[in-house]
Structure 1
Amino acid sequence: MNLFKAKMAASLYATMSISFWGISFVSTKAVLDKLDPYTLLTLRFGIGALFLCFFLLVKRYRFRLNPAYVPHLIVLGILGVFVHQMLQATALLTIDASAAGWLISFSPVFTVLLSMVFLHERMTFWRGFGMMIAVCGVLLVTTAGRGETLQLGMNIGYALMILSTLNWAVYSVLLKRLSIPLPALAVTFYMSVIGFLLTLPLFIKHKGIKDMALLTEAEWAHLVFLGVFVSGIAYWYWGKALEVLEASQVSVFLYMEPIATLIAAILVLQERIVLISVLGGIIIIVGVGFVNGQLFSFAQDLVLRRRK
């Protein structure tokens, strides 16, 4: 396979990963009508762990884990799986899936801030400018639903979703600092198992087994999608994309996630389009583009081309 075909295939893998992650908000929202967040996440992590275990067995992976890396995996599993998904699932009880999709794109701003503190990356004018733009976008998205009857609940939901973006940024920085010499699939499997074990006591306490009997075939399909495609295949495809493309190139595909969420929310949940929310989401993406330096680089390229 030549370089062009390899990059095209990697771009397709990244697009599919982002699409699955974007649609995950819609599937979570659809199942929360019948299940509490604890039951939903226990089933999701359990399905995901089984799928990843089966996949690793097919690849004849030897499950040998150095005890020295167990604390690292536990920390990453708690932050990146348990806390992150619990915040998002709880937030989706009171906010629209499309709004969650827009807000999650704010995560790179927190990542940059934490990188400046812990990884000693420097602040630039364009980063500060982008942060201010992104914050304005967040304010538009979070105020778009204030006309709803559940104003207090909506505000709590937005706060939890923004908190989840901060949590993901902390997880991302830790993932860079902690060196775990394991394949990405194996790390994902272990974190899914940790997430399952952490939510299992809550599942038992809230008698989630009874709620499972109320699920329809469509809702089970959403759960299987969350476990297999979101927790399993999406991470695998993301890793395959990173094998060919640079991390900065792959990160551009993150801007497509809220678009996938919006389309799925309209088609599956019949959510109405709130123009202020869409405008706020676009502003967030533009601001994040400046924070990451991608829009600034694009503007520089345009200027250089015109001068030539």
Structure 2
Amino acid sequence: MVYHLFLWLTVCFWGVSFVATKVVVMVFPPFFAAILRFLIAWVFLWLFTRRKAYGKRKDLVFAGLWGVTLYFVFENLGMVYTLPTNAVLIISLVPLLNLLYLSLFRKQRLTILQVAGAAIAFAGVCVVFLNGNINLRLNPLGDLLIFASAISWVVYTHYILQVEREKPAGSADALAVTRALTGWGVLFLIPFTALESLFGRAHWSLDALGWPFFAGLLFLSVCCSSIGFYLWNMAIRNLGPRYTTNTLYVMPIVTGVAEAVILRSIPNRYTLIGAFFVLLGLYISEQKKHTVKGISPSK
């Protein structure tokens, strides 16, 4: 029961994180904001544990690369161009992308309902992308970057599962794993931040510094990164990857409420329509009837 509570707390943290990220990237450039967030998170974790992480170094390195560096490079840059509600709707496709990964690379068959749900959810994302403008005169760059971050998270889940399979018998320090992959993520963020400062159009709005920025940065670093990653990895190990990733379905609701309260930004009708179809598709995809002929789906 306690793992369920911790997991849902993490989902709430991450649902609000899209709004907090929007606040932070309005002050600092996206890559610098990402490296600052995870550097603070690494220091916070280092204060609690200095033990060596279990798992192969290769898996920890790639978990940090995909789950920290690439995910947040795409997400933070995407948040410059899109709204928090759009971003969380796209991220909520992670469970379906994970099913697609299992089908393509693990040779596991999907059910008819999973395929139908994926199609409906994809239609909802298209509504969000187009925003009522069929000829795409609007710039979809932000939404595409967020979609890239969703793919990065699917790959991260694969590597963190590899790490958890290598967990030794008896007691092991899961905090050390979170600290290790966070550290690798920070290292890989350095070249992105350097390129952003040297050749990019880094946007600094230091006049906007204030308590919302500092509160948002600390919330992202401590709650969403240090605590959130730790609890998420624990949930994957104890509750399984399928149930754990499925809880991301609720994030659009959390983000929508947080955006309305914090940013005072009411989602437009196309975002609401898209949200309905995404959630409907995700719900349908979770039904376990009418297996497609072939290999049974994973549990």
Q: Determine if the TM-score, normalized by the shorter chain, exceeds 0.5.
A: yes
Work out the CA distance in 2 between the residues paired with 1:228 and 1:74. 21
What residue is the counterpart of 1:223 in the other structure? 217
Figure out how many residues of one structure are paired with residues of the other and give that number: 280
Q: Is the 8 A contact 1:14 1:238 kept in 2?
A: yes
2:86 aligned with 1:93: no
Higher helix share: 1
Q: Would you say the 8 A contact 1:106–1:285 is kept in 2?
A: no
Please, what TM-score do these two structures have when normalized by structure 1?
0.80
Tell me the SS of whatever aligns to 1:92.
Answer: helix
Q: Residue 77 of structure 1: which of 50, 60, 64 is its match?
A: 64
Cα contact 1:114–1:173 (8 A) shared by 2:
no
Report the counterpart of residue 185 of structure 2 in structure 1: 195
Looking at structure 2, the residues matched to 180 and 211 of structure 1 have their Cα atoms a distance apart, in angstroms, of 43
- Could you report, residue by residue, the CA deviation over 1:201-228 in whole angstroms, capped at 9, with x for unpaired residues? 4445628xx9596532321121111110
Does structure 1 residue 130 correspond to structure 2 residue 117? Answer: yes
How many angstroms does 1:99 deviate by?
Answer: 1.0
Evaluate the alpha carbon distance shift between residue 54 and residue 28 of structure 1 in structure 2; reply closer, same or farther with a 3 A threshold. same
In structure 2, the partner of 1:300 is: none
Aligned equivalents of 2:138, 2:175: Cα separation in 1: 41
Do the aligned residues in 2 keep the contact of 1:145 with 1:151 (CA within 8 Å)?
A: no
Q: Assess if the C-alpha contact under 8 Å between 1:42 and 1:203 holds in 2.
A: yes
Give structure 1 regions of 4+ aligned residues with deviation exceeding 6 angstroms: none
Alignment of 1:155-166 (within 5 A): 155-166=140-151
Q: Which residue is equivalent to 1:46?
A: 39
Q: Give the share of equivalent positions with the same residue, in percent.
A: 26
Matched, 1:33 2:18: no
- The equivalent of 1:169 in structure 2 is 154
Mapped contact 1:112–1:291 kept (Cα < 8 A): no
Partner of 2:284: 290
> Does structure 1 conserve the Cα–Cα contact (< 8 Å) formed by 2:53 and 2:176?
no
Counterpart position of 1:22: 15
In 1, the alpha carbon distance for the partners of 2:96 and 2:118 equals: 6
Distance 1:226 1:13, change over 3 A: same
Deviation at 1:129, TM superposition (A): 0.9
Instruction: Letter of the 2:146 partner, please give it.
Output: M
Which residue does the alignment assign to 1:301?
A: none
Equivalent residue number for residue 108 of structure 1: 95
Deviating more after overlay: 235-244 vs 20-29: 235-244
Q: Give distance in 1, aligned partners of 2:64 and 2:132.
A: 33
**How far is the alpha carbon of 1:169 from its aligned partner?**
1.7
> Is there any run of 5+ residues in structure 1 with no aligned partner, and where?
1-6, 298-308
TM-score by length of 2: 0.83
Structure 2 counterpart of 1:47, which letter? I
Contact kept? 1:103, 1:281, Cα under 8 Å: no
- Residue 293 of structure 1: CA displacement? 3.1
How far did residue 128 of structure 1 move? 1.3
Gaps of 5+ in 2: 291-299
Indicate whether 1:63 and 2:52 are aligned: yes
Post-superposition shift, 1:42?
A: 1.0
Query: 2:58 is matched by which residue type in structure 1?
Result: P
